[in-house]
């Protein structure tokens, strides 16, 4: 599958790989990249031969945030909102039925960090720089960051990062539980690919059930979460429909 202007799409066994490819601008996220990611995620979801997704970036960065050169280019605020919601790429990413591994390096800033936070497993290379600068720039994160950041590291830590917009390194990201592992730059992609391949070889229905139980259960009471777990377990054994 090819023809994308802003990313590379490939398959390695049962692992699909999306690699952001605007390396000349540190993979800054623009409208075209949104459209390309939307189409690539649809391909992942619809391909029965894909069991997991690996997301990474070409060049010196994973993603340095939104492309600010596009700000103010829409004919009106109404048109800008219509463009933003025409394709809910973040909702599609969040609702993907297959596990997602994200490997970040260089810069993982703004929407770059928000993309990573929508994933199931996040790895970072030593030397990666993280930040959520939107508030300091007079904006509100628009790719789910106000929701995913607090769920990952807690409300107090999330507000610190959002209010200050400060930069922090991979060691702090690991302490804050924003990432699961730190690797050398040379080992980042091999480790991420190995993790994605391991996920892809599992029973797809079981992986989807566990993913649903954990992600949906995070917003439920313990009793509701246990009930959800029971329904999913029954579905796996063919005793009832999934719900």
* Shared-domain flag, residues 82 and 139: yes
45 belongs to the catalytic site:
no
Considering 58, 82, 114, 186, which one is annotated as catalytic? 114
Same domain, 69 and 177: yes
Shared domain check, 174 and 231: no
Q: How far is CA 180 from CA 114, 192, 201, in A?
A: 15, 11, 21
- Per-residue pLDDT tens over the stretch 194-238: 999 999 987 667 777 777 667 766 676 777 767 776 777 777 777
Domain contains 2: no
Q: 83 vs 28, 31, 87, 125, 145, CA distance in Å?
A: 17, 8, 8, 33, 19
218: CB partners within 8 A, 6+ apart? 151
Chain centre to alpha carbon of residue 225: 24
pLDDT at 25 over 60: yes
Residue 170 shares a structural domain with residue 211: no
Determine the structural domain holding residue 215 and report its residue range: 204-236
Residue 1 lies in a domain: no
The overall pTM is greater than 0.75:
yes
105-145 residue pLDDT tens: 999 999 999 999 999 999 999 999 999 988 787 777 777 87
Out of 82, 86, 126, 134, which one is annotated catalytic?
A: 134
Tell me if 243 is assigned to some domain: no
Does 191 qualify as catalytic in the annotation?
Answer: no
In a domain, 146, yes or no: yes
**Pick from 66, 78, 76: nearest CA to 32:** 66
Q: Tens digit of pLDDT for each residue in 59-111?
A: 999 999 888 887 555 444 444 445 554 568 888 888 888 999 999 999 999 99
- Smallest CA-to-CA distance from 84 within 73, 95, 94 is with 73
In a domain, 174, yes or no: yes
Residue 107: give its domain's CATH number.
3.90.226.10
């Amino acid at each position: 599958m090819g023809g994308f202007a802003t990313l590379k799409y490939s398959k390695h066994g049962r692992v699909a790989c999306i690699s952001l490819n605007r390396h000349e601008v540190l993979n800054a996220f623009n409208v075209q990249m949104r459209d390309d990611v939307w189409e690539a995620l649809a391909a992942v979801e619809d391909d029965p031969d894909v069991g997991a997704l690996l997301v990474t970036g070409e060049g010196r960065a994973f993603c340095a945030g939104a492309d600010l050169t596009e700000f103010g280019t829409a004919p009106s605020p109404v048109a800008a909102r219509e463009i933003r919601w025409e394709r809910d790429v973040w909702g599609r990413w969040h609702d993907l039925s297959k596990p997602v591994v994200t490997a970040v390096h260089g810069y993982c800033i703004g929407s770059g960090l928000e993309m990573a936070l929508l994933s199931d497993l996040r790895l970072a290379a030593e030397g990666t720089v993280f930040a959520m600068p939107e508030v300091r720039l007079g904006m509100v994160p628009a790719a789910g960051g106000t929701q995913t950041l607090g769920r990952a590291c807690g409300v107090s830590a999330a507000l610190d990062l959002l209010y200050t917009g400060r930069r922090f390194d991979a060691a702090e990201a690991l302490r804050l539980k924003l990432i699961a592992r730190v690797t050398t730059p040379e080992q980042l992609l091999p480790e991420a690919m190995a993790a994605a391949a391991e996920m892809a070889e599992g029973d797809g229905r079981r992986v989807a059930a566990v993913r649903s139980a954990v992600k949906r259960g995070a917003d439920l009471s313990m009793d509701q979460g246990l009930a959800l777990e029971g329904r999913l377990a029954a579905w796996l054994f063919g005793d009832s429909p999934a719900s």
